[in-house]
Homo-oligomer: A and B are copies of this chain.
Amino acid sequence: MPYLQEKVDNLTKPKGSLGRLEELAIQIGAIQQTLTPALHKPYHVIFGGDHGIVAEGVSYSPAEVTPQMVFNFMEGGAGINFLARQHGFSMKVVDSGINYDFNGLENLIDLKVRMGTRNYLHESAMTREEYELCIERGSAVVDECFQEGSNIISFGEMGIGNTSSSSMWMTCLTGIDLSQCVGAGSGFDSEGVKRKYSILKQALDNYKGNGSVEDILCYFGGYEMVMAVGAMLRAAELKMVILIDGFIMTNCLLAASKLHPEVLEYSIFGHQGDETGHKLVLDYLQAKPLLFFGLRLGEGTGAVCAYPLVDSAVRMINEMSTFKHAKVTKYFE
């Protein structure tokens, strides 16, 4: 998009002096194929699901926290809620496969596939039919946001045990050794991380699938994670800007990119956390995160927190004067 670069270079500032804001403006202009990009009705979608592997003790937090946090989201008291309110995000919370009966809880979107995945230490977490259902349902959620006028969307998750599934996807899809993909999750000490690793290593050794992307996602995946993959792919198809946060959502994008690499062109990485695994998968994707804030909450907090920076980029390209208009000496070649 040479025209986009030219427009940015003629704004009243030394060339390149708005750094990352300039890069973001050019990326979003390219996504929307316009010199005057605009962001409409930002949406945040949280997919929730439980994981059979939690029975093996791979998570610091008990599984009951998944539904408890869903209630907290619905009541507006969680980390993601204040950020969504601050930045004017609409929110959808989806039950992709939480091991709890919500009894038609108002505003919770019931797309439950099953009461949690199977335990992949012994068998595939989901069936191929369940996988296809997740891809479809994730895609349909994005369609609804798009129909409401949204052109920028971020994703988050709630699912005790899903850092483990993410580590499994990561090692299988990137070839990075499992030991570098496993971290503390919501609070393990180094002993806990070791135990988590040894269980996941066992699960990896037990895996006898065909090694295709779909098979890996099926075998180790969470319902909430595969829905996020379907959602990301659909968002890219609809030429929406996708905001990515955290270890789990970054691995979902990794999975999506293995199916359709173009999804990366639509993605903006909100945040890089302190965990080695997150940094490695971001490096693998050649991602340049916007924030380094030490967040490790999930829920999509790192994506929504970074939204005003993306908004700044769009305002820059639309609102700044050009040298000619402002009668400022263009002080660069």
Q: What total of chain A residues lie within 8 Å of the partner, measured CB to CB?
A: 61
Q: Tell me which of B13, B71, B86, B291 contacts A79 (CB under 8 A).
A: B13
A273 to B18, CA, bound (A): 10
CB distance from A271 to the nearest CB of B (A): 9
Q: Is A15 an interface residue (CB 8 A)?
A: yes
Q: Tell me which of B72, B296, B326 contacts A328 (CB under 8 A).
A: B72
A77 to B13, CA, bound (A): 11
Q: Tell me which of B61, B290, B293, B331 contacts A331 (CB under 8 A).
A: B61
A259-303 CB mask vs B (1 if < 8 Å, else 0) is 000000000000001100000000000000011111111000100
List residues 223-249 of chain A with CB under 8 A from any CB of chain B: none
Q: Tell me which of B293, B308, B329 contacts A68 (CB under 8 A).
A: B329
A-B residue pairs in contact (CB < 8 Å), sample of 22: A12-B69, A15-B187, A17-B186, A18-B79, A21-B295, A21-B305, A68-B327, A69-B328, A71-B327, A72-B328, A77-B320, A77-B321, A78-B321, A78-B326, A79-B320, A81-B319, A82-B318, A82-B320, A86-B308, A186-B331, A308-B308, A308-B309
List residues 60-94 of chain A with CB under 8 A from any CB of chain B: 60-62, 64-65, 68-69, 71-72, 75, 77-79, 81-83, 85-87
A329 in contact with B12 (CB, 8 Å): no
B78 in contact with A19 (CB, 8 Å): no
Q: Is A315 an interface residue (CB 8 A)?
A: yes
A79-B18, A79-B320, A308-B86 as given contacts; A329 in contact with B65, CB under 8 Å: yes
Given contacts A68-B326, A68-B329, A187-B332, 5 further A-B contacts (CB under 8 A): A17-B186, A18-B301, A69-B328, A77-B321, A85-B315
A304-327 CB mask vs B (1 if < 8 Å, else 0) is 010011011001101111000111
- Closest-by-CB residue of B relative to A322 is B77
Q: Is A149 an interface residue (CB 8 A)?
A: no
A62-B331, A329-B61, A332-B187 as given contacts; A14 in contact with B315, CB under 8 Å: no
A165 to B52, CA, bound (A): 63
